């Protein structure tokens, strides 16, 4: 090697080493800053313990806002049965095959990290409100100064014989999706075998579930060149009309769509018994019996009836309504226990009752966060009044949606737009924008 080349080679090596050293120094300084911040946070005395039970829509927003605006001396803890939570607005689309699991679920682990919160994956089974303790299924006991509950609701089915043993509840969502994935896999392997599905409950949830399931299963039958007659879907509704909380125009349009898509409607039929019958081929068969004497045989039964609440809320001594939901004031504070707040489906606002719908849970997130911070700071609470008019976009399972705007119980002042792809795209844009709030690099 010539002398000039040797000098250039040596200088090049020195330059590379210098760059590497500078990068290492920068990384060390960056890490030291993070460590310093973490040490400062850990050195701050814990003055108050704020515990959130449930990772519902309201609590997801609360945690995001606590991450943006933390309170010194307040330790935040989330106790949830699962590490992710489904966004209800996108769940029917996921069942129809339009969204992946990750697209429609909020991962609570990075969210808890962003909020600097402790995360316990466990199921709450009891509250000790005299000593301010949360008791969990795995023996975990968590102390709190302030408690907030946002655990959603579960379908009511206790009074129906065989429902608990043989029907698949729509909630918890994780169990619903586990059963649905197995059903999709089974149909994909044996698409030539006829299958009959029943959905009990003709509210918005049951209607969207029926349309979404039909869409996904029809895709499989079409791809495998099997006749769509291999699929039967039955929808049972104890009322004479579907979706009683919606305006007549919405009910009429969706009933027409269901009928056109071959979904068998059993209106005015109250399911009173579910029992297994003899196996036919490789599938289980169940008999659904109604009070009228109607009997329908199905392979799978999904339960999407009126919402109810877990018994431990009432057992704890919290003031609840007849269905077991926590009664809260306009501030989202419990009527009976000032150290307890509640939001989402699990709460009933005494002065402003609203349907159990995700739109109201999302809207409660910010006022819940503000009042939790205000009470921790010793400030007076602010009342929250939910809107009476709200937009409802109902998917029809085929990348179209119906738009309805009206009163909270849709009894007056409503208008409805028929199913259209543009309405689906608008709904899709709203849902994806909401989920973007909880994406972390």
Lowest mean pLDDT among 108-122, 291-305, 336-350, 380-394: 380-394
Are 413 and 406 contacting, i.e. CB atoms less than 8 angstroms apart?
Answer: yes
H helices then E strands: how many in the chain? 11, 25
Q: Is the pLDDT of residue 38 over 50?
A: no
CA–CA dist 228, 209 (Å, integer): 18
- Asked whether residue 294 carries a pLDDT value surpassing 50, the answer given is yes
**pLDDT class for 406, splitting at 50, 70, 90?**
low
123-178 pLDDT, tens digit each? 999 999 999 999 999 999 999 999 999 998 877 756 799 998 999 999 889 899 99
Lookup: tokens for 333: 């504070």
Q: What are the tens digits of pLDDT across the range 337-364? A: 999 999 998 999 998 877 767 677 789 9
Residue 376 backbone phi and psi in degrees, to 5:
-70, -30
Using the predicted structure, report yes or no on whether residue 23 has a pLDDT greater than 80: no
163-306: CATH topology: FAD/NAD(P)-binding domain (3.50.50)
CB 367 within 8 A of CB 341: no
Q: Are 109 and 83 in contact (CB under 8 A)?
A: yes
CA distance 342 to 349: 9
| pLDDT(380) > 90 | yes
* The pLDDT value given to residue 19: 53
Q: E strands of 278-351, at which residues?
A: 286-290, 295-298, 300-303, 307-308, 326-328, 340-342, 347-349
The DSSP element (H or E) to which 258 belongs, if any, is helix 248-260
pLDDT over threshold 50, residue 9: no
Q: Can you give the pTM of this predicted structure? A: 0.84
pLDDT higher at 5 or 173? 173
Residue 36 pLDDT > 70: no
Least confident piece of the model among 48-57, 235-244, 397-406 = 397-406
Least confident of 4-13, 63-72, 335-344: 4-13
* pLDDT at position 440: 84
Higher local confidence (pLDDT), 235 or 277? 235
State the greatest distance between any 2 C-alpha atoms of the chain, in Å, as a whole number: 102
Domain ranges of the chain: 48-153+309-376, 163-306
* Fold agreement between 48-153+309-376 and 163-306: yes
pLDDT in tens, 172-214: 898 999 999 999 999 999 999 999 999 999 998 999 999 999 9
| Percentage above 70 pLDDT, the chain | 85
Name which CATH class applies to 48-153+309-376.
Answer: alpha beta
Whole-number Å distance between alpha carbons of 329 and 236: 35
């Amino acid at each position: 090697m010539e002398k000039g080349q040797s000098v250039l080679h040596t200088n090049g090596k020195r330059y590379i080493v210098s760059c590497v050293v500078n990068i290492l120094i920068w990384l060390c300084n960056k890490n030291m800053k993070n460590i310093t911040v973490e040490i400062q946070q850990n050195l701050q005395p814990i003055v108050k313990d704020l515990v959130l039970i449930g990772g519902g829509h309201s609590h997801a927003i609360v945690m995001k806002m606590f991450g943006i605006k933390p309170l010194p001396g307040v330790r935040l803890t989330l106790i949830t049965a699962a590490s992710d939570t489904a966004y209800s607005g996108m769940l029917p689309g996921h069942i129809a095959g339009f969204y992946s699991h990750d697209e429609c679920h909020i991962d609570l682990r990075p969210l808890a990290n962003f909020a600097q919160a402790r995360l316990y994956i466990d199921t709450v089974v009891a509250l000790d409100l005299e000593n301010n303790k949360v008791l969990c299924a795995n023996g975990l006991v968590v102390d709190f100064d302030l408690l907030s509950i946002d655990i959603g609701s579960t379908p009511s089915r206790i009074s129906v014989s065989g429902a608990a043993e043989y029907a698949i509840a729509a909630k918890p969502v994780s169990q619903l999706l586990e059963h649905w994935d197995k059903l999709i896999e089974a149909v994909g392997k044996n698409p030539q075998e006829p299958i009959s599905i029943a959905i009990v409950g003709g509210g918005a949830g049951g209607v969207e579930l029926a349309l979404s399931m039909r869409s996904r299963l029809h895709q499989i039958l079409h791809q495998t060149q099997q006749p769509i007659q291999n699929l039967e879907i039955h929808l049972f509704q104890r009322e004479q009309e579907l979706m009683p909380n919606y305006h007549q125009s919405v009910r009429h349009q969706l009933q027409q769509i269901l009928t056109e898509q071959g979904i068998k409607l059993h209106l005015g039929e109250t399911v009173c018994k579910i029992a297994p019958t003899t196996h036919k081929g490789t599938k289980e068969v169940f008999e659904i019996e109604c009070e009228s004497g109607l009997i329908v045989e199905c392979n799978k039964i999904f339960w999407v009836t009126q919402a109810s609440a877990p018994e431990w809320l009432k057992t704890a001594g919290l003031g609840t309504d007849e269905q077991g939901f926590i009664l809260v004031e306009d501030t989202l504070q419990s009527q009976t226990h000032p150290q307890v707040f509640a939001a989402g489906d699990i709460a009933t606002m005494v002065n402003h009752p609203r349907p159990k719908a995700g739109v109201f849970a999302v809207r409660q997130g910010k006022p819940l966060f503000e009042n939790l911070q205000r009470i921790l700071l010793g400030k007076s609470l602010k009342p929250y009044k939910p809107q009476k008019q709200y937009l409802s976009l109902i998917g029809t399972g085929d990348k179209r949606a119906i738009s309805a705007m009206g009163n909270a119980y849709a009894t007056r002042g409503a208008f409805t737009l028929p199913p259209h792809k543009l309405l689906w795209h608008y709904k899709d844009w709203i849902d994806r924008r909401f989920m973007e709030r909880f994406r972390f690099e």
